[in-house]
Amino acid sequence: MSHLSKIIILAGAFVSFILGAGTATGQEIMQFFVPFGYIGTGAIVIAAILHMWFGAYTMDVGSRLQATDAKDVFNYFCGKYLGFFFYWFAQLFMLVVFVVMISGAGATVSEHFGTGDILGRIIMAAAVLITALARLNTIIKILGIAGPIIILFAVIVGIGNFDSEGIRHSNELISELQLLQATNSWWQSGFIYSSFVLLIAVPFLANLGKNETNRRTVIFAGIVGGFIMLLGVFAIYTGILSHIDDVQDKGIPTLFLADQISSILALCFSIILLIAIYTTAVGMLWTVSLQFSGGNPTIYKIITIALTIIGFFGGALPFATIIDLVYPIVGYIGLILMACMLYRQFINKGSLGKEGI
């Protein structure tokens, strides 16, 4: 496989992870960037730069460290004790993301099919539980293709709803609307949005890098991935700004925007979104259950069932409310991890083995 092909594949996997179901719904973008109007673009740029940095750096560390356990990666960045904290905190946050996915499934089914959120939560919780208990690796890998597809659809939805007149009036409308807002300033949103993603991205990115020995490949893949993320988020952001008065009370803003283009597109997008939510939820539930079960199959099943029940009832909380309450708090904690990574990269690099590029 050529050097360029490897970069594209790694960058695609990176983008699929960070621009998955949560961002593609538009709800995170509604809370982190849209409330600041035009200046929200600055927050997106900050987030993109940070994603480019930690994507390249974490994959590079994964390539050189060759760690078999995510604990080793967190320990390298933060030391033994703080690394231990972040490792387990990341597991708990994955459980929160699992709850968010169940809530998102309920909101998606309710908004598009008009059946109420309970049906969506039941179907999603049951599908995820069955998959996690059966450990169907092949199915998860096949459905993983939903990541790139949902990115493409989200960009189409965002660009397809671009309206220069709507954007011109968006700043005036935003000041009158009671939008949920993740932080008090646009620059904080750029940092917080990036840092809460970082917490669960570190193990994933380090594992990506572990399978590639060429440092140039992983570094460029991280940079390309962060740049594509900028384009994807910006497309959705402009689409929402163009119709802010219509989408400001929607749980899944991008689903509404898709319907403005075509009812067929909206149906396709809702199905793809549910598949993306499903694959994300399975991954989070599986990972947390394995960590807490210690490899014991019986305990794994008990924990998986218990966490699914928690996810179902926790998902009864409004999708937007969960994001508003939890993600900013996690983001502020994630800033500590980000600071540790900056210290490790630029002040105290330590030794990771292969240092030449």
pTM: 0.85
The pLDDT tens digits of the residues spanning 34-77 come to 999 999 999 999 999 999 999 999 999 988 888 777 788 899 99
Residue 144 has pLDDT above 70, yes or no: no
Q: Which CATH number characterizes residue 154's domain?
A: 1.10.4160.10
The pLDDT tens digits of the residues spanning 248-290 come to 888 889 989 999 999 999 998 888 888 878 877 887 888 788 7
CB atoms within 10 A of CB 107: 24
Burial of 176 (C-beta count, 10 Å sphere; 0-12/13-18/19+): exposed
- Dihedral sign (CA 263, 265, 268, 273): negative
pLDDT score at 236:
92
pLDDT score at 284:
81
Short-list 136, 17, 129, 60, CA closest to 349? 60
- What is the arithmetic mean of pLDDT over 14-35? 82
* 356 in any annotated domain: no
pLDDT score at 147:
62
Residue 310 has pLDDT above 90, yes or no: yes
* 351 in any annotated domain: no
pLDDT score at 357:
39
pLDDT score at 143:
52
Domain around 98: 3-345
Cα separation of 147 and 165, whole Å? 32
* 101 in any annotated domain: yes
Short-list 39, 13, 43, CA closest to 28? 43
Residue 164 has pLDDT above 80, yes or no: yes
- What is the arithmetic mean of pLDDT over 134-162? 71
**CA distances (Å), origin 31, targets 182, 219, 253:** 5, 30, 11
Residue 27 φ/ψ, nearest 5 degrees: -70, -40
* 352 in any annotated domain: no
Residue 126 has pLDDT above 90, yes or no: yes
Side chain identity, residue 165: E
- What is the arithmetic mean of pLDDT over 115-138? 84
* 333 in any annotated domain: yes
356: confidence class by pLDDT, cuts 50, 70, 90: very low
- Non-local (6+) Cβ contacts of 294 within 8 A are none
The domain tally of the chain equals: 1
* 354 in any annotated domain: no
pLDDT score at 8:
82
Residue 2 has pLDDT above 80, yes or no: no
Residue 155 has pLDDT above 50, yes or no: yes
pLDDT score at 316:
87
Residue 244 has pLDDT above 90, yes or no: yes
Give 124-174 as a DSSP string.
Answer: HHHHHHHHHHHT-HHHHHHHTTHHHHHHHHHHHHHHHT--HHHHHHHHHHH
* 214 in any annotated domain: yes
Tokens 């208990």 belong to: 133
* 43 in any annotated domain: yes
